[in-house]
Structure 1
Amino acid sequence: MRRRLSAPTAALAVIAVAASALAACSDEPETSPDGVITLFAPQWPDQPLDDNAFTKHIEAKFDVDLQFETTTYDAGPAAEKRQISLASGDYPDAYMLVPWVTQFSRDEIETLGSQGVIVPLQDLVAEHAPNITAAFEKVPEYEQRAYNSEGVLWGLPQWNDCFHCQYSSKLWMNQAWLDTLGLVQPTTPEELRTVLEAFKTQDPNGNGQADEIPLSGAVGNPILPYLMSPFAYSGGFDTTGATPASLALDGDQVVLQPTTDGWREGLTYIRELWEDGLVDDGAFTQNGEAFGVKTDNPDAVIVGATTGQQPASNMDLEDGRNFQYQAVPPLTGPDGDNVSWAGGGPLSASFVITNRASEAKQQKLIEIMDYIYTYEGHLLGEFGEEGVNWARPEAGDVPLDETMPPLFKTLTAPEGQGVNTAWGAMTQYFSDAEFRGGQIVPTDVNTREGYERRLFEATLPYSEADTSKAFPYWEVSVTGDQAQELSTVQTNLETFLSQANAEFITGIRDIRDDAAWQSFQDEINGFGAEQYTAIYQTAWDEVK
């Protein structure tokens, strides 16, 4: 089994945006007074950052007035607003982002840095950030991910050693429905077909209506990786081209999976499920909100199985129905028991300082970030108020990973308290294995409080499956002109592949037609497949 080291997965931004930012910038950008720092950050609709308790804590501790330019937690609109912010020329002192929403790719920060839009941080960290320095020393892989090959630190990435996050393509199946129908969890593709057919035809929710949706998903919770993996390793389903999701390893050879016979076999299987009405019609087009309308249907539970990292990404946890869903281990098929695995994220940054910030503000910003790397700053920043949102360990507390010392436990705040007290995922800059594993979690996984342990235990069977074909793109570095070339090819090719895969499954393309399959291969080549794999092969050869 591979060493479990993870950092967040990120969005790959279009380099043209960075060029637009430079074009929009004045030679002498206007700045706000040194006592006022402007930050671009995501914000929940009902939790304004201006009124946030952690905001007020930082302002008091560092004698600063924080003013926010905000965006949503919806990835698409958030990325667009970030790009518009840069291109306008009227951008803030710093960007503080959440990786699974939007962040800066390595290509972007290299371009922005070379243009002078963002400032290097290595000297600031060396002089004013002992806690960030200690984090780099504790986890050398984190330092390697943060600095470029020339030793420049253009921005800070988040390091989140999240065990369950590394296996994001899980299948969550309604165990109550299985029990009602006298079935067990499937272990092969054909067994899964049998279960889904029963969900469709045998009224497992007992309401006398044929309203069951056997299997559903969404753009952000794609069904393809889990269903494809018994036939050919799938690293994901990326509609934006943010990651090289279609690449895998055959030994040390980088392979584009949609060119293989196993991929066609997998698409044929998923097409058959679609034809039989076992897959939700909206699985490839609906967003999370539309998906939630089905998973949270108030009249009856109507979804038999969903894909995703965790139930919370599929449904509301409030009414308890999520406890009906249990993770189904990876299926075993013609290509074994592959499982999508991401041990890290792309080389990227979620925090950068722009040339709008004076030297005094640059120092203040790095001191604030250094505080977030401390135990106190991390807990207050991510979870909120001590004694309300979290507490220190007591005798008998059991950490998530029992090999780690207990560090803290989250609390259910009393009604009317503990709301808008933290920045949440914005402050997850150094959640290493010790921090994650040291969280105290109740041992009863069928409670809201035991949810994190539930995810940990559900992931264990996935960690035992085959990840040998996963291409660790997060370990390679492509820079300079070749990086821009790769960015264009990757965005275009991966976006095309995600669309074409969906078209084969939904019948727009005929997966059984040899001519249609050959046409697909020709289109792949036309998008630069040979160039794509060659660039990544060279980069992989340098680090493997």
Structure 2
Amino acid sequence: MRNKVLRTLLLIAMLTFVVAVVQAQDSTVTPAGELPIVTEPTTIHIMMVQTTGVEDYNNGNKYTEWLEEQTGINVEIEVVPNADAQAKLNVTLASGQLPDVLAGFNMDPGLIAQQGAEGQFLPLNDLIEEYGYWTKEAFYEMRPHLLSLITSPDGNIYQLPDINECFHCFMSQKMWIYQPWLDAVGMDVPTTTEEFYEVLKAFKEQDPNGNGIADEVPFSAQIWDTGWHQTVEEFIMQSFVYYDRVSPNRNQHFLYLDDDGQVQAAYAQPGYAEGLKYLNRLYAEGLIDPNAFTQDNSQIRTLANNAGVELLGATPGGWPGMFAQVEFVENGGRIDNWVSVPVLEGPDGFRQAAYAPWGITQGRWVVTSSAENPEAAFRLGDFMYSLDSTIRNVFGEEGVDWQWAEEGMLGIDGSPALYDNINQWGEGIQNQSWQQAAIQFRTSEFRLGQNAEGDYVEPLLYEASNENHLPYAPSIDRLIPPLVLSEEQGRELADIRLAVETYVEEMKVNFIVGNADVDAEWDNYLATLDSLGLPRLLEIFQEVYDEQAGMVSGGEIQQQGG
């Protein structure tokens, strides 16, 4: 009997060895860090969210061609317009007809955990251990504090995030004002909400574009979905309440910690009510464009780039390229006439910049259960974290769009430069790069390593953030880090968030345009929020925060600024 058991165990061991050998022989993927990635023709199908300014990801794109040459992988991309991204993701997940990779969708960690638990997203843990090279460098060596942020509650990693320690992105609820109009009316950049009101009033009444027609639009904005922090209230609310819409986890928007460490919702605070009353004042006096609540990004661009005279005086956005054509004054354009407004001091002396210094956007590279070669799909994402891939994804072709820095070149922070951006980023439609689509690994050192001389974009945004926002940002220990919800918590919160935030958006507009009176209807507003589940929403986030708050310590966050 004993010999029979031993023979059986020996047979199992031999079969296991044979299977392992066959699998190794059948593998089309080379060892970790080795290029090319595959040893025989391989195609990876990617469904990817489009970035504006890219002509064609599949045909003639220099970065796509370089990526295929380096890896040996044929990349086929199904492009999804940014405005349709969430709807397309929902339909795709519901259908079960998945591509090999979902890229650039900025997924909520709760959704990632849920889809992973249900088997639609593959766990990457074993793939990282066996095939990870640049992934290990990123998460094990350089930024180990990020590992816990991308790990789902079941212990699995179902995604690779975009890592972008973008200083100006950390504080991107900015306001821009047209300097020639300030010069025309003899006023300085405002520093308080009252000064901002007076500037807008001067723009309306004093014909700053000089055409003799009352056609100036003092202040305009756009809807959330197609812009980058361009809604009417985002910048202004920072003068009344801590108002966060920069958190990389969208389900944490509007949440903050009070002095007692309790999670609160900004839209239920007295300061928010005062901010609404201030915005109503601007609207009632004709200082806010009525289209600000309905127009999309194409419409705000049309307004800001009017042929002939300028029509727009002030507008919010992460950077001026979100509304103004990247054409410079010396070339007949206007973009460098837009200057940053500091976070305004409110009527009660309050001003606090929304601040999210986490440096990751989650769910940007997900290998699905439909992947025919998940090893190759993972390794492609792993390679995209490399410096060579990152710099080409963002800027394009070496020697044409960028070059390694020469001796004596200085970076944005005054340190020796790493590279020189030959062409201004975001200047027109191009087919050289992916312009930040999918994933990269951009550390603060990389971003500040760009040659500052002759560049408009990065030095402007660095200065605007460092001088006009960072002094008013809360300390890191007062921030809610990106939290990971369980599948059950995510499901419960989904309906509550939808109901609450839909109502908040509806009433925001009603309060600002005067369809509802803040003083008369505020108590009913709060009661409605309670009935829609706001107390439970706060309770869940408090529980998760109390469990996970220690995952990221302030000393590990890569801060910039001087």
- Using structure 1 for the length normalisation, give the TM-score: 0.85
Structure 1 residue aligned with 2:215: 211
Distance 1:164 1:45, change over 3 A: closer
Distance 2:360 2:72 in 1: 35
Distance 2:291 2:232 in 1: 11
Structure 1 residue aligned with 2:162: 158
Distance 2:462 2:232 in 1: 21
Distance 1:418 1:522, change over 3 A: closer
1:71 Cα deviation (Å)?
A: 1.0
1:218 Cα deviation (Å)?
A: 0.8
Whether 1:89 and 2:96 are equivalent positions in the alignment is: yes
1:45 Cα deviation (Å)?
A: 8.0
CA deviation digits over 1:439-466, x for unaligned, max 9? Answer: 1121x5xxxx322111111111210114
Whether 1:58 and 2:84 are equivalent positions in the alignment is: no
Structure 2 residue aligned with 1:184: 188
1:378 Cα deviation (Å)?
A: 1.5
Contact 1:215 1:303 in 2 (8 A): yes
1:530 Cα deviation (Å)?
A: 0.7
Distance 1:307 1:57, change over 3 A: same
Distance 1:304 1:81, change over 3 A: same
Structure 1 residue aligned with 2:464: 458
Distance 1:236 1:67, change over 3 A: closer
Contact 2:256 2:266 in 1 (8 A): yes
Q: Out of 319, 329, 332, which is 2:342 matched to?
A: 329
Report which stretch shifted further, 229-238 or 109-118: 229-238
Structure 1 residue aligned with 2:251: 243
What are the within-5 Å matches in structure 2 for residues 361-376 of structure 1? 361-376=373-388
Distance 1:494 1:322 in 2: 34
Q: Out of 358, 363, 379, which is 1:344 matched to?
A: 358
1:421 Cα deviation (Å)?
A: 2.3
Letter in 1 for 2:458: E
Letter in 2 for 1:433: S
CA deviation digits over 1:313-332, x for unaligned, max 9? Answer: 12112252121111011111
4+ residue segments displaced more than 6 Å: none
Q: Out of 411, 414, 434, which is 1:423 matched to?
A: 434
Q: Percent identity?
A: 30
Contact 1:93 1:354 in 2 (8 A): yes
Query: How many residues end up aligned between the 2 structures?
Result: 491
CA deviation digits over 1:155-192, x for unaligned, max 9? Answer: 10111100111111111111111111111121211111
Q: Out of 427, 439, 443, which is 1:432 matched to?
A: 443
Distance 1:243 1:481, change over 3 A: closer
What are the within-5 Å matches in structure 2 for residues 252-291 of structure 1? 252-291=261-300
Aligned partner of residue 250 in structure 2, secondary structure: coil
CA deviation digits over 1:406-433, x for unaligned, max 9? Answer: 21121129xxx99412222125421111
Aligned partner of residue 350 in structure 1, secondary structure: strand
Aligned partner of residue 464 in structure 1, secondary structure: helix
1:347 Cα deviation (Å)?
A: 7.4
Distance 1:60 1:285, change over 3 A: same
Report which stretch shifted further, 225-234 or 110-119: 225-234
Distance 1:389 1:224, change over 3 A: same
Structure 1 residue aligned with 2:369: 355
1:242 Cα deviation (Å)?
A: 3.5
Structure 1 residue aligned with 2:413: 401
- Root mean square deviation of aligned Cα: 2.4
Whether 1:127 and 2:124 are equivalent positions in the alignment is: no
Distance 2:257 2:308 in 1: 46
1:372 Cα deviation (Å)?
A: 1.5
Distance 1:483 1:418, change over 3 A: closer
Q: For structure 2, which runs of at least 5 residues remain unmatched after alignment?
A: 1-39, 551-562
Contact 2:101 2:367 in 1 (8 A): yes
Distance 1:475 1:335, change over 3 A: farther
Distance 2:359 2:176 in 1: 24
Contact 1:172 1:327 in 2 (8 A): yes
Structure 1 residue aligned with 2:529: 524
Distance 2:147 2:349 in 1: 36
Report which stretch shifted further, 364-373 or 268-277: 364-373
1:225 Cα deviation (Å)?
A: 2.3
Aligned partner of residue 177 in structure 2, secondary structure: strand
Distance 1:402 1:228 in 2: 33
Distance 1:335 1:478 in 2: 36
Distance 2:482 2:342 in 1: 27
1:308 Cα deviation (Å)?
A: 1.1
Aligned partner of residue 282 in structure 1, secondary structure: helix
Report which stretch shifted further, 216-225 or 55-64: 55-64
Distance 1:139 1:503, change over 3 A: same
Distance 1:490 1:306 in 2: 28
Letter in 2 for 1:483: G
Structure 2 residue aligned with 1:69: 78
What are the within-5 Å matches in structure 2 for residues 160-175 of structure 1? 160-175=164-179
CA deviation digits over 1:23-76, x for unaligned, max 9? Answer: xxxxxxxxxx9722211113458622221222222223332322222211x3x3
Distance 1:471 1:85, change over 3 A: farther
Distance 1:528 1:362, change over 3 A: same
Contact 1:347 1:477 in 2 (8 A): no
1:87 Cα deviation (Å)?
A: 2.5
Contact 1:353 1:362 in 2 (8 A): yes
Structure with larger Rg: 2
Distance 1:171 1:104 in 2: 27
Whether 1:108 and 2:111 are equivalent positions in the alignment is: yes
Distance 1:483 1:172, change over 3 A: same
Distance 1:347 1:411 in 2: 27
Letter in 2 for 1:41: M
1:346 Cα deviation (Å)?
A: 8.0
Distance 1:427 1:212 in 2: 39
Distance 1:433 1:345, change over 3 A: closer
Q: For structure 1, which runs of at least 5 residues remain unmatched after alignment?
A: 1-32
Aligned partner of residue 301 in structure 2, secondary structure: helix
Distance 1:503 1:202, change over 3 A: same
CA deviation digits over 1:178-217, x for unaligned, max 9? Answer: 1111111212111111111100000011111101111111
- Using structure 2 for the length normalisation, give the TM-score: 0.82
